[in-house]
Amino acid sequence: MSPARATLTAPSPGHLRNAIPALGLFIAIRVTCVSVLLVWSAFADRSAHTLLAGRWDSLWYVRVAEFGYGFSLHAPDGRDLSSMAFFPLLPWLEEGISFLTPLSPADSGLVVSALASVLAAWGMFAVAAQFYGRRTGIILVGLWAALPVGIVQSMAYSESLFVALAAWALYAVLNGRWVLAGSLACLAGLTRPVGLAVSLALVVTAVLGATRLRRLLPDIHDRPMRMVLGCVIAPLGAAAYILWVGRQNGDPLGYLDVQAAWGNGFDGGIAFSRFVSTGVTGSPALWGIIWPAIIALAVWPHWIGLKQRQPPPLLVYSAAVTVLAIGAAGYFGSKPRLLLPAFPLLLPLAIVLARCRRTVVVTVLAVATAVAALYGAFWLHGSGPP
């Protein structure tokens, strides 16, 4: 019996009661990391609130929430940085919450991130528990919470909101709920450009469902019209925003110009590999060695996931997120943050740890949490954005 069909007779891993241990673990890790940040900030005479809600991208989201689009900043190097680079769902929510409550848009962003991060943890637990068991789902949530860049999950950034929508979209498609999956993918596309990775996962899964490989997901071919509708809805959010930006700029591809001004174009990973080779060797002489190594490191977890029979939507989604993160030409320090949504990459490790003794699991998560807490606090006290 396939995992998807098993849920017809067993309690769904998506039920809140089943997810409580995973959510408790997630909250405990995140509270630990934020607490370390608070202590660090106190000793550094800095405001943790400002670090979490009032710097870098957070400021841009707040500007959109307060004044709408159209704001631009003339950088010292001559570039015009436009607020249109930031997708609208998070600032819309910030604006809505601040209108309905006494909270400022910045504080509303923290509330959205806090709630969305818990929903994201719940969604990835549901996905992992359905196919690999409850213990694997709990460990996956713990690993994601304790990533070195996990502090972003507690910032007024859009990552937590995006991962919540992506995780539940993947869970929906894995259970044959195509219209819901497409709707969530549409919202993910209004959150970040990488939302197209969710749409791609749906489309590829639908194609597989119409072929001999549909045996991997027996339920997905039972509702062809809903499948088509879900795939049509999925990319509409990202497409609508990109076309709107193009109309504002008088060029259908105007969004690409906006991103180019920020230095966030797609170069296939050339800038990334050059940075690594220069940083390691002091010169680009070993570029030809470093670049294949980067590709191997990016491909390896997907290969392991394929051997562990990860469902196709997860493989496609994580591969797309990885390609977009590594292939982006932007600020190198943001690469780990761009990979944060690719939670299926942690599944191979979660599966292995699920077979280990509890002491091993506790030790791994404790060490990871300590590293995440210290690194997150150090990172936010630095000069560059995450």
CB 84 within 8 A of CB 255: yes
CA distance 293 to 290: 5
75 contacts 262 by C-beta, under 8 angstroms: no
Strand pairing report for 80-82 and 72-74: antiparallel
Amino acid at 382: G
202 and 185 in contact (C-beta within 8 Å)? yes
At 72, give phi and psi (nearest 5°). -140, 155
* Residues 116-144 as b or e (16 or more Cβ within 10 Å = b): bbbbbbbbbbbbbbbbbebbbbbbbbbbb
Chain segment 127-137, per-residue pLDDT in tens: 999 999 999 99
348, 304 Cβ separation under 8 angstroms: yes
User: Other C-beta atoms within 10 Å of 360: how many?
Assistant: 12
> Quick check: helix, strand or coil at residue 73?
strand
DSSP assigned state of 152: G
Q: What gap in Å lies between CA 218 and CA 4, rounded to an integer?
A: 8
Cβ-based neighbours of 240, under 8 Å, separated by 6 or more? 190
Please check whether residue 131 is in contact with residue 3, taking contact to mean a CB–CB distance below 8 angstroms. yes
**What b-and-e string marks burial along 286-300, b requiring 16 or more CB atoms within 10 Å of the CB?**
eeeebbeebeeebee
- Angstrom distance (rounded) from CA 155 to CA 94: 13
CB 317 within 8 A of CB 166: yes
pLDDT in tens, 142-182: 999 999 999 999 999 999 999 999 999 999 999 989 999 99
Delimit the domains of the chain by residue range.
Answer: 3-380
Alpha carbons within 13 A on the beta-carbon side of 358: 0
Left, alpha or beta for 69 (phi > 0: left; psi -120 to 50: alpha)?
beta
Q: Which two tokens stand for residue 385?
A: 């954005």
The pTM of this model reads: 0.90
Residue 330, classed as helix, strand or coil, is: coil
328 φ/ψ angles, rounded to the nearest 5 degrees: -75, 145
Looking at this protein, which amino acid is placed at residue 65? A
Per-residue pLDDT of the chain (386 residues; tens, 9 = 90+): 344 433 333 456 668 889 999 999 999 999 999 999 999 999 999 999 999 998 889 999 999 999 999 888 877 777 788 999 999 999 999 999 999 999 999 999 999 999 999 999 999 999 999 999 999 999 999 999 999 999 999 999 999 999 999 999 999 999 989 999 999 999 999 999 999 999 999 999 988 876 654 555 555 555 678 888 999 999 999 999 999 999 998 888 889 889 888 877 665 555 666 655 555 555 555 555 555 666 666 778 888 888 888 899 999 999 999 988 887 666 555 778 889 999 999 999 999 999 999 999 999 999 999 999 999 999 999 876 76
